[in-house]
Amino acid sequence: MFNYVPEMFRAETAETEEEGDKWYDDHTAGRRPPELLPRDEVARAINTEVKAGRGSPHGGVFLDIASRRTPEYIRRRLPSMYHQFMELAGVDITRESMEIGPTCHYIMGGVQVIADSAATAVPGLFAAGEAAGGLHGANRLGGNSLSDLVVFGRRAGMGAAEYIEAGDVATSFNMEEAEAAVKGALDPLNREEGENPYTIQHDLQEMMQALVGIIRTGPELEEAKDKLDEFTERVKNISVKGARAYNPGWNLATDLPSMLTVSRSTALAASLRKESRGGHTREDYPNPDPEFAKFNFALSSDGGNWDSPISAAQSPLLPLPDELKALLEEAH
Amino acid sequence: MADVTMRIWRGDATGGDFENYTISQNEGEVVLDIIHRIQATEAPDLACRWNCKAGKCGSCSAEINGKPRLMCMTRMDDLPEGTVTVTPMKTFPIIRDLVTDVSFNFEMAKRVPALLPPPMPEGGYRMFQQDVERGQEFRKCIECFMCQDVCHVIRDHEENKVNYAGPRFFIRYAELEMHPLDTNDRRELLKEELGLGYCNITKCCTEVCPEHIHITDNAIIPLKERVVDADYDPVAWLGRKIRRRTKKTAAEASVQPAP
Q: Are B149 and B100 in contact (CB under 8 A)?
A: no
Question: Given a cut of 90, is residue B158 above it in pLDDT?
Answer: yes
Q: Could you tell me the domains of chain A?
A: 33-100 (3.90.700.10), 105-172 (no CATH), 190-316 (1.20.58.100)
Question: Given a cut of 80, is residue B226 above it in pLDDT?
Answer: yes
B91 and B114 fall within a common domain: no
B236 and B135 fall within a common domain: yes
B109 and B234 fall within a common domain: yes
For residue B46, list chain A residues with Cβ-Cβ distance below 8 A.
248
B145 and B231 fall within a common domain: yes
Residue at which a domain ends, from B100, B132, B164 = B100
Cβ–Cβ gap B44/A199 under 8 Å: no
Question: Given a cut of 50, is residue B251 above it in pLDDT?
Answer: no
Report the C-alpha gap between A155 and A117 in whole angstroms.
Answer: 5
B89 and B109 fall within a common domain: no
Residue at which a domain ends, from B100, B125, B143 = B100
Cβ–Cβ gap A249/B44 under 8 Å: yes
Q: Are A44 and A214 in contact (CB under 8 A)?
A: yes
B93 and B141 fall within a common domain: no
Q: Which long-range contacts (CB under 8 A, 24 or more apart) does A83-87 make?
A: A83/B55, A84/B54, A84/B55, A87/B55, A87/B73, A87/B75
- Decide the pairing of beta strands A215-216 and A281-282: parallel
- Which positions ≥6 away from B112 have C-beta within 8 Å? B169, B172, B173, B176
Q: Please indicate whether residue A31 is annotated as part of the active site.
A: no
Residues 88-117, chain A, touching B (beta carbon < 8 A): 88-89
Q: What is the number of structural domains in chain B?
A: 2
B118 and B22 fall within a common domain: no
Q: What is the pLDDT of residue A35?
A: 53
Q: Are A80 and B56 in contact (CB under 8 A)?
A: yes
Q: Which long-range contacts (CB under 8 A, 24 or more apart) does B36-42 make?
A: B38/B6, B38/B8, B39/A198, B39/A248, B39/A249, B40/A196, B40/A198, B40/A199, B40/A202, B41/A196, B41/A198
Question: Given a cut of 90, is residue A22 above it in pLDDT?
Answer: no
Cβ–Cβ gap A88/B73 under 8 Å: yes
Under the banding of pLDDT at 50, 70 and 90, the label for residue A49 is confident
Report the C-alpha gap between B155 and B143 in whole angstroms.
Answer: 17
For residues B87-101, give the mean pLDDT: 97
- The pLDDT tens digits for A132-187 are 998 898 888 888 999 999 999 999 999 999 999 988 776 677 899 899 999 999 99
B56 and B107 fall within a common domain: no
Report the C-alpha gap between A249 and A244 in whole angstroms.
Answer: 10
For residues B173-181, give the mean pLDDT: 95
Cβ–Cβ gap B44/A241 under 8 Å: yes
Question: Given a cut of 50, is residue A18 above it in pLDDT?
Answer: yes
More confident residue, A40 or A5: A40
B110 and B90 fall within a common domain: no
Give residue B150's domain range.
103-257
Q: Residues in chain B whose beta carbon is closer than 8 A to a beta carbon of chain A?
A: 12, 28, 30, 39-41, 44-48, 54-56, 73, 75, 95-97, 99
Question: Given a cut of 80, is residue B243 above it in pLDDT?
Answer: no
Of A86-90, A269-273, B20-24, B218-222, which gets the smallest average pLDDT?
A86-90
Its sign, for the CA torsion B13, B16, B18, B24, is negative
The CATH number of whichever domain residue B191 belongs to comes to 1.10.1060.10
- The pLDDT tens digits for A268-284 are 999 999 999 988 999 99
The CATH number of whichever domain residue B67 belongs to comes to 3.10.20.30
Report the C-alpha gap between B39 and B49 in whole angstroms.
Answer: 12
ipTM: 0.81
B134 and B175 fall within a common domain: yes
Share of chain A above pLDDT 90, in %: 62
From the list A202, A240, A246, which residue is nearest B96 (CB)? A246
Question: Given a cut of 70, is residue A332 above it in pLDDT?
Answer: no
B108 and B227 fall within a common domain: yes
- Which positions ≥6 away from A267 have C-beta within 8 Å? A208, A211, A212, A221, A224, A225, A228
B95 and B107 fall within a common domain: no
Residue at which a domain ends, from B54, B84, B100 = B100
